[in-house]
Structure 1
Amino acid sequence: MLREAKRRQTRLDLIIAALRLVDASGADRVTVDEIAAAAGVSQRTFFNYFATKEDALVGDPLEGCTDLRAQLLAARADQSLLDALLDALAPVFQQIDDDRDLWLLRMRVIQHNPQLLPLLIAAAATAEQQFAEAVAERGSLPPNHPFPAVVAAATNGAVRVALIRWAAGDDPRPLEHHVREAFGMLAAGLVLPPIPRNA
């Protein structure tokens, strides 16, 4: 238990060190040695956690979610896919809320270092593929059926929009509330909302 907690702390220390150094100097000017030194560990220890410095910067979009597939398949048969996905991802959203400053720093670093964007897209695509496979299995659909891929792509886009709105800081609600709002629009069939009277 203590060893696992120490591993999590070391990993977090490396992520924070990488993000802070890159935020100050740019991704091209920061080395793995500098990140390891800032975190108080060796270069070898860094590579025990991350294959590249970019991996430390981008992170895992499903970090904090134990097993998305298992949770979706364990959901009640009468529960909607969107509600089942929200339940499965709730720990992820809570962790992002708890680490708000870290996530704002990560998003700023990615924005200022566009070469990191393909890695972020690739990580999100992997998570999206996992969700699509789970949707297909839950619905007993063939792997090549378009429905799981459409659901996964739409929900991935909704989560991305919710994350951007949450990060903007104009609305103090937790990230999960922003995601629920976006999912609600999908569930409603993307019906155009009424125009506010004061608009």
Structure 2
Amino acid sequence: MGLRELKKEQTREALSWAAIRLTVERGFDAVLVEDIAAAVGVSPRTFNNYFSGKAEAIAARNLDRGKRIVAALRARPADEPLWQAIAEAVATGFMTMPTGTFTESPHWHAGVKLMMQHPALQGEALRANAIVDGAMAVVIAERTGTDPEQMYPQLIARTVGAAVLVAMEQWWRADSSASFEPFLREAIQQLANGLTAP
């Protein structure tokens, strides 16, 4: 990535995190594009060069995380069992999170939960998840010698996506100081076990 591309990517990421931080602090409907742009030190026009609206800016974190998971899965050893590779790739995808900043606020946990319940954001998150599911199915097909349009890779990809969402919901219900990774790994392990009856 050249210097110009890197700067653009950094601006895009900064806008996305600013949208999340302000929404967690104020609520989705109380945040304007102008607020997000000002938080990063750019114009609203610059914001519009990257995102169609604040919901897309927030959901960009889902999309980027999904792309990291797909890239991590592709990089796993070819002879590694599929579910182990998926578990490690998903965990890797969730490692990138700003630390020592607003994510340590006692209101962060509840604010994210409330933010994710907004209909506009749910729609954008579904769109991002669909893109990631398609890319994940391609990598799973590569690892299993199947066609990405066949049921198996499609089913695995979408099931993994659902497991991540369930893990998030369980985490939101837990103590706000709890680590997310154990919830994530347990969800993937239950899939690997075939969802046997408890």
TM-score by length of 1: 0.75
Q: How many residues align?
A: 191
Deviation by residue 1:141-165 (Cα, 9 ceiling, x = unmatched)? 1233210011111111111111222
Superposed displacement of residue 2, structure 1: 8.9
Give 5+ residue unaligned stretches, structure 2: none
Superposed displacement of residue 22, structure 1: 4.1
The answer on whether the counterparts of 1:17 and 1:35 sit within 8 Å (CA) in structure 2 is: yes
Please name the residue that 2:16 is paired with: 15
Superposed displacement of residue 123, structure 1: 0.7
The answer on whether the counterparts of 1:60 and 1:123 sit within 8 Å (CA) in structure 2 is: no
- The 1-side partners of 2:39 and 2:70 are apart by 37
Please name the residue that 1:109 is paired with: 115
The answer on whether the counterparts of 1:159 and 1:182 sit within 8 Å (CA) in structure 2 is: yes
Superposed displacement of residue 65, structure 1: 6.7
The answer on whether the counterparts of 2:18 and 2:39 sit within 8 Å (CA) in structure 1 is: yes
Match of 2:126 among 113, 121, 128: 121
What aligned pairs does 1:38-117 form with structure 2 within 5 A after superposition?
38-63=39-64, 68-96=69-97, 98=99, 100=103, 104=109, 105-111=111-117, 113-117=118-122
Superposed displacement of residue 8, structure 1: 6.3
- The 2-side partners of 1:97 and 1:179 are apart by 19
- The 2-side partners of 1:162 and 1:106 are apart by 14
Q: Does 1:174 align with 2:175?
A: no
Give 5+ residue unaligned stretches, structure 1: 194-199
Please name the residue that 2:193 is paired with: 188
Deviation by residue 1:45-78 (Cα, 9 ceiling, x = unmatched)? 3234333222112223253576555543443343
| Distance of aligned partners of 1:21 and 1:184 in 2 relative to their CA distance in 1, 3 Å threshold | closer
Please name the residue that 2:168 is paired with: 163
- The 1-side partners of 2:70 and 2:94 are apart by 17
| Distance of aligned partners of 1:178 and 1:97 in 2 relative to their CA distance in 1, 3 Å threshold | farther
Partner AA of 1:52 in structure 2:
G
**Aligned partner of residue 63 in structure 1, secondary structure:** helix
Deviation by residue 1:122-179 (Cα, 9 ceiling, x = unmatched)? 1111111111111112212123321001111111111111122223333855322211
CA RMSD of aligned residues (A): 3.2
The answer on whether the counterparts of 1:185 and 1:191 sit within 8 Å (CA) in structure 2 is: yes
The answer on whether the counterparts of 1:32 and 1:46 sit within 8 Å (CA) in structure 2 is: yes
